[in-house]
Amino acid sequence: MASELCKTISVARLEKHKNLFLNYRNLHHFPLELLKDEGLQYLERLYMKRNSLTTLPENLAQKLPNLVELYLHSNNIVVVPEAIGSLVKLQCLDLSDNALEIVCPEIGRLRALRHLRLANNQLQFLPPDLGRSRELQYVYVDNNIHLKGLPSYLYNKVVGCSGCGAPIQVSEVKLLSFSSGQLTVFLPAEVKAIGTENDRVLPLQELAMRSLHHTYHTFLKDLNFLSPISLPRSLLELLHCPLGHCHRCSEPMFTIVYPKLFPLRETPMAGLHQGRTTVSFVAYCCSAQCLQTFDLLS
């Protein structure tokens, strides 16, 4: 380890610094100096952006127990260890511009977390419990081009400034749309059908997908139980990544949604979009029953 780096960390340790700046240090590994002996028990903010880290140490929470903000923007982190869930004071975690494919569910255990930045990664899905905590209000997931859905708990939180997922290349003519009053909304390309209050019976494929998902997810806890030949590949992929979860009851949806449109000016988020009165929030429900009973303000 470069002696200059050792010196910076030793000074921070001796003088009980609360902030430590290790940006632009060309670090390929988490500095051992930060983890030796007691670690840095007083450190509250650690800045390590623009290095080449690929993972984080398992004993991070033990050695840096008072971290409030952790900045790891622009590294090559592929895996975040489950131990991250033990950083009980963490309020801000920035993992933007890394190589994350999976976010461990333990991130959902961080009860103090307010800001989670995951933009520009390779995420395919997020932990279903993410956003359950009241504290978590800002989750940035822009530019994760394989991300196909968001956990239902995020529906009334800020999830980035330019949405998420790949920009849709399909022309609007091919997209399903629905209207409510003056507003017309085009639905994402994955949505194959729209349900209304009169459609009380789901299409057969949707019913089959939901019961398969229920069986494998609830009882076996592992969709990988299904062999690749037990379903056509496209359906197997769909089963792994539902197009969304019902905003009312969290039921996964695969082909059909029952949309309900709320002009944004009538929602609690209105303050975040000042002046943009044409913007609206679309709630996606799984059935005619959830459509009837969903209310944004309840």
Nearer to Zn ion, 72 or 286 (CB): 286
Which of 144, 251, 260, 262 lies at the binding interface for Zn ion (CB under 5 A)? 251
CB 48 within 8 A of CB 73: no
Provide the minimum distance between the beta carbon of 211 and Zn ion in the complex, in angstroms, as a whole number: 15
Number of residues that bind Zn ion (CB under 5 A): 6
Nearer to Zn ion, 48 or 246 (CB): 246
Q: What is the dihedral of CA 223, 226, 227, 228, to 10 degrees?
A: -60
Work out whether strand 177-180 and strand 183-186 pair parallel, antiparallel, or are unpaired.
antiparallel
Cα separation of 266 and 280, whole Å?
A: 9
Binding of residue 248 to Zn ion (CB under 5 A): yes
Taking residue 261's Cβ as centre, other Cβ atoms within 10 Å add up to 16
CB 185 within 8 A of CB 191: no
Which of 116, 212, 290, 291 lies at the binding interface for Zn ion (CB under 5 A)? 290
Binding of residue 246 to Zn ion (CB under 5 A): yes
Nearer to Zn ion, 88 or 249 (CB): 249
Binding of residue 40 to Zn ion (CB under 5 A): no
Three state DSSP letters for 134-178: CCCCEEECCCCCCCCCCCHHHCCCECCCCCCCCCCCCCHHHCCEE
Which of 102, 249, 269, 270 lies at the binding interface for Zn ion (CB under 5 A)? 249
Provide the minimum distance between the beta carbon of 220 and Zn ion in the complex, in angstroms, as a whole number: 23
What are the residues whose beta carbons fall under 8 Å from the beta carbon of 142, sequence distance 6 or more? 119, 120, 160, 161, 162, 163, 164
Binding of residue 286 to Zn ion (CB under 5 A): yes
What are the residues whose beta carbons fall under 8 Å from the beta carbon of 141, sequence distance 6 or more? 118, 119, 123, 126, 147, 150, 159, 160, 164
Provide the minimum distance between the beta carbon of 215 and Zn ion in the complex, in angstroms, as a whole number: 18
Provide the minimum distance between the beta carbon of 251 and Zn ion in the complex, in angstroms, as a whole number: 4
Provide the minimum distance between the beta carbon of 187 and Zn ion in the complex, in angstroms, as a whole number: 17
Provide the minimum distance between the beta carbon of 214 and Zn ion in the complex, in angstroms, as a whole number: 13
Query: Which of the stretches 3-11, 113-121, 249-257, 269-277 binds Zn ion when contact is defined by CB under 5 A?
Result: 249-257
Query: Which of the stretches 31-39, 122-130, 173-181, 278-286 binds Zn ion when contact is defined by CB under 5 A?
Result: 278-286
Provide the minimum distance between the beta carbon of 284 and Zn ion in the complex, in angstroms, as a whole number: 9
Q: Which helix (H) or strand (E) holds 237?
A: helix 233-240
**Which residues make up the interface to Zn ion (CB under 5 A)?**
246, 248-249, 251, 286, 290
